[in-house]
Amino acid sequence: MALLDIKEHTLLQAVSTTGAGTSLKANRQKGWNFIFYGFTVTSGATIEIQAEVSNGWVTIHTETITATGYTIAQSEHGHYKALRANITAYTDGIYTVLAQGSTTGY
């Protein structure tokens, strides 16, 4: 088995409103880590990690952030075409979401 090159990609950068960030071409790899960072959070937000399928987006993970700090989630399922983060509910705070995953094949 070859070693994989793990890269970090920004899905959301210092966002303070609802809406989706830019998508990341996932090269149909699996084994992604998602790092959520909330800053100045008192009530929070709900952030979905979404995968592109056919002609739309499907939620593969939902994270509700209610305090300042880091949260990490993993996805070992699926070979995703593309990924994005989408803030679907927002009260307060500033959010950054990173995806860590392979950019090379097995």
Tokens standing for 16?
């303070």
pLDDT at 104: 53
The answer to whether residue 4 scores a pLDDT higher than 50 is: yes
Structural domain contains residue 73:
yes
Find the mean pLDDT for residues 1-6.
Answer: 60
pTM reported for the whole predicted model = 0.88
Do residues 30 and 76 make contact, with C-beta atoms less than 8 angstroms apart?
yes
Question: What whole-number percentage of the chain has pLDDT above 90?
Answer: 66
Query: Which residues, other chains included, contact 65 with Cβ-Cβ below 8 Å and sequence gap of 6+?
Result: 36, 38, 41, 44, 45, 46, 47, 71, 93, 95
Structural domain contains residue 67:
yes
Q: Which helix (H) or strand (E) holds 23?
A: none
> What's at 47, amino acid-wise?
I
The answer to whether residue 106 scores a pLDDT higher than 50 is: no
Find the mean pLDDT for residues 61-74.
Answer: 96
Structural domain contains residue 1:
no
Structural domain contains residue 14:
yes
Provide the residue range defining the domain that includes 39: 6-102
Number of domains observed in the structure of the chain: 1
Structural domain contains residue 96:
yes
CATH code for position 72: 2.60.120.1110
* DSSP helix, strand, coil percent of the chain (3-state; round to 5): 0, 60, 40
> First CA to last CA across the chain, in angstroms?
7
